[in-house]
Structure 1
């Protein structure tokens, strides 16, 4: 979606494990990967990928000059910020005129095991309260709303694309369900009997297959500065 090459300067906001930063660097771009979590930054730095610099930084107040980067990305990062609109505005601020801004969010209530757990809970325990999703996910859940927010942040020529990827859940991992679902509040508030019912339902869905695909859909907002 964004042409990158040896002369491209790239910023990855809330870079997490550095997946996007590493792909951009393999295309020859010079990448600054930022995250507010020192552990994530340390992990990126330890990978020692040529062309990638990693720094601890708050995406809501980037310590970077205006109009500096050819492309600024935040995949499933800025949507988690307390002030996500400020995060979008900061992305736009540091994007050079004519440069690209790219933001990824989920089209539904998360992805992979989070999405699967929610679907199974709603089937087994209808009406049961679920975890509260970040406000940005609701605000950016439609192409119209997504484009509106990108423009309000300072971008222009915005468009939104839908991308679906099958997360491959290995059913053998259901023997240790906490490793799959333990990060979700929707798992932790279930009783042991309810958790067992969830695992039984997922096994039924897998129907003996070693891998259960979980279609997960993202909305990717692409804009120009």
Structure 2
């Protein structure tokens, strides 16, 4: 089992994820929501919710939202928001404990792409989408995003002989829009529309004083020696120059398909 397939890993990371990744992924969640019209009557499911960037944003439309994740720690973060129209449940997105065709819109923002059986995850999303409803899935391009993207680029520059972190299978498989569309159709959705969306991750250069808080979730970081880590930090500081924030342009693919 790879680390990101273990719920214990995400339980331990939940607090850090909420502080660092959530504000960034929320930008893409808002983009995904803008592509589907929700009302207070809408029933919405967020699969692999993480700390709830999509679920909490969807709740602001008045929709009734169910947020699910296999990590109890992540689910607890969503529940802690205390919103009356958001329920949060621990659940495996590859085998949703939910009836067929119960939701008007089913989202997964950088969630299903982490599943060992991501095809089953897409099929489960489709199963619980009502006829005429929508499935919305976001994935990264092949080399990831934010600090993972930056670290991979720096490693390729500084240590070209060193193999980098393998991205989840789905990120590789769905990084081409035509392949992404085909996968959604194979899952049972129809008429997928896929768009590139880019936002900057703004890396606080001051945070490099404690680099494990910046890069610590990545095997590309933990596999380095102390001397190599120091080289990486020096390169990030060089790239930032006098700027207090280093922008890292990160591109996602957001797909909307109908059942």
Q: What's the TM-score bracket when you normalise by the shorter of the two chains?
A: over 0.9
Deviation per residue, 1:41-82 (Å, 9 max, x gap): 111111101210001111000111111100000011001111
Q: Give the structure 1 partner of residue 115 of structure 2.
A: 81
Work out whether residues 35 and 57 of structure 1, in 8 Å CA contact, stay in contact via their aligned partners in 2. yes
Q: Give the structure 2 partner of residue 121 of structure 1.
A: 155
Q: Give the structure 1 partner of residue 27 of structure 2.
A: none
Q: Give the structure 1 partner of residue 135 of structure 2.
A: 101
Residue among 165, 182, 188 paired with 1:131: 165
Provide the C-alpha distance between the structure 2 equivalents of 1:84 and 1:135, rounded to a whole number of angstroms: 8
Work out whether residues 43 and 103 of structure 2, in 8 Å CA contact, stay in contact via their aligned partners in 1. yes
Count of equivalent residues: 225
Give the TM-score, by structure 2 length.
0.86
Give the TM-score, by structure 1 length.
0.98
Provide the C-alpha distance between the structure 2 equivalents of 1:150 and 1:174, rounded to a whole number of angstroms: 40
The root-mean-square deviation of aligned C-alpha atoms, in Å, is 0.7
Q: Give the structure 2 partner of residue 30 of structure 1.
A: 64
- 1:118 CA displacement: 0.4
Residue among 43, 53, 56 paired with 1:19: 53
SS in structure 1 opposite 2:80? helix
Work out whether residues 106 and 129 of structure 2, in 8 Å CA contact, stay in contact via their aligned partners in 1. yes
Work out whether residues 12 and 31 of structure 1, in 8 Å CA contact, stay in contact via their aligned partners in 2. yes
Uncovered stretches (5+) of structure 1, i.e. residues with no partner: none
Work out whether residues 108 and 217 of structure 1, in 8 Å CA contact, stay in contact via their aligned partners in 2. no
Provide the C-alpha distance between the structure 1 equivalents of 2:170 and 2:161, rounded to a whole number of angstroms: 24
Work out whether residues 150 and 156 of structure 1, in 8 Å CA contact, stay in contact via their aligned partners in 2. yes
Q: Give the structure 1 partner of residue 218 of structure 2.
A: 184
- 1:108 CA displacement: 3.1
Does residue 7 (structure 1) correspond to residue 7 (structure 2)? The answer is no
Provide the C-alpha distance between the structure 2 equivalents of 1:156 and 1:138, rounded to a whole number of angstroms: 22
